[in-house]
Structure 1
Amino acid sequence: MKPVPYDPELEPGLAAFLDLVERIPLRADTILENRAHFATIVPSLEQQVGDRPVDVEERTVPGPPGAPDIVLTIIRPRGGVTGAPAFYAIHGGGMILGNRFFGIDGLVDDVLRFGAVGVSVEYRLAPEHPAPAAVEDCYAGLVWLAEHAAELGADPARIVVTGASAGGGLSAGVALLARDRGGPHLLGQVLLCPMIDDRNATASARQYDGIGAWDRHNNDTGWNALLGPLRGTDEASPYAVPARAKDVSHLPPAYVDVGAAEVFRDEATEYALRIWATGGQAELHVWNGGYHAFAGFSPGAEVSRAAVAARLSWLRRLLS
């Protein structure tokens, strides 16, 4: 199946992505090697924060019932805030890689742009911790944030959950859990190139089989690690695999953003369509020629600047 071509302005960033991130083929027997390599390319918290005027705090908080505690990194404008929005950030990494510092520079940016409280959660990774460990960890952190929002200077009615790739999938799963458990109120959910369908059978998944950033093979590796024998069965939890949720009504407004030239294009688009079909709110952006996570690796490209501007516009409208 012929793939959608990449935006030429994005091709250098894609090449850099592949050279830096996907140097080692990602398969079941190389997950730990890839994880160790990935850890070396994620800048430290101190490097990402730099001299920007924020206060940073680490908190260890209760995890899910019967599970270990989890660690949150909390970022606030220097001097504190009152009644601020809160961004609850869930990192990407295919459910098998990364840590709470991956992408935290963007969280710092949003904290300063919006005068917000930012919280990044450390969740357990597969295959050592299969589903539902990751989504339950993320939900436990969200519950703690909602219960302690006032202490942090945040408004518990203005929490937005946000993530890219696996983090987008986990954000969608957390929104489903909050709805079904009568849990924290979410003002919105930001789902960037979200990993939400274990079946890996869409046209876009077939188009990016062996090419591009986070291709179909990598996606197989991530889902196999997370779900094991439950993958592809009706036993797979919709909280771990949001595309399998039978009911996507009564969810917080969703911002769904994906490249047209990547594996997750069709599942992300379908999720937005299903939300609209229930009368729910979703804003969908499919960026022509965009590879997986293109805005982060090709920030100077015109399409990347447009994608960032669209997300910020949606957040300003949501928070107003």
Structure 2
Amino acid sequence: MGEFELIRRFFASAACAAGGEGIALGIGDDCALLHLPAGEQLAVSTDTLVSGVHFPQDADPYRLGQRALAVSASDLAAMGATPLAFTLALTLPDARVDWLEEFALGLSSMARDCHLSLVGGDTTRGPLSLTLTVFGRVPAGRALTRAGARPGDLLCVGGSLGDGAGALPLVLGEREDSSPEAHYLLQRYWAPQPQLALGQALRGRATAALDISDGLLADCGHIAAASSVALWVEAARLPLSPALQQLFPRDFALNCALAGGDDYRLAFTLPANELPAVQAAWPDVRVVGRVEAGQGVHLLDAAGNESRPPALGYQHFGSQGD
């Protein structure tokens, strides 16, 4: 099967390539054309997922299609952007029809959930990897960024933490478990739901925001650096799902929440007077700390004492915790 036949059969005709609002021209030409309403800016983010690094080499293709788009769309949520479109650059060791069919179905499923349309990309032969670029729109000057947190703000997260990291022993085959709790964690890993609506609702309310991909402590470090403030995280206030707590000891669950990554929840700073309205609309939002003058990220243990975590989060280049 040639490259163009592969694109036509599995992607140009996929449900996610049907176009939608803001898509002037999709797959089939040298470039896609996107339409932006007056007074809006284009938000763009690119993620690469590599076999053996970001997912197991024998990963289920349907689940992989879901996850690949979800982790990219989460960046749009972090900026408060409304989703528009995405492109896919797919490198394949071979063109297996059964694999491509399942991957395209999983991709289309997540695209539907995220209201994203596939508008182009590329295919080539080589070790399995996926590069996705997502596009969104946001009113000019109102995008959420990592800069802007102020002393006195609350540090909040969009829901339970640690589920993605808790799923890793199951994903890697290190633990066998068919319980409903294990199924829940696997679903959180393979099909995380980007908090797009929450991100849009935080425009004009949150002072800084990002999505949690490398672990709460590591990612909060980006807010602290960009905003020139100190973030204090309270371990006793971290929201843990019942599934995570039932399958693992509390110390392991807490470490997953603090440094495990793969949550794709939003972490954001919020003036205290904004909290009641946000929690009324989004009951899963939890306060996990505060912003103070200073620098860096600080962890308070259950007793309220400052504690040094065993690791800050995942880094591709360098040892954990550096």
TM range (shorter): under 0.3
Structure with the largest fraction of helix: 1
Q: Which has the larger radius of gyration?
A: 2
| TM-score (norm. length: structure 1) | 0.27
| TM-score (norm. length: structure 2) | 0.27
Structure with the largest fraction of strand: 2
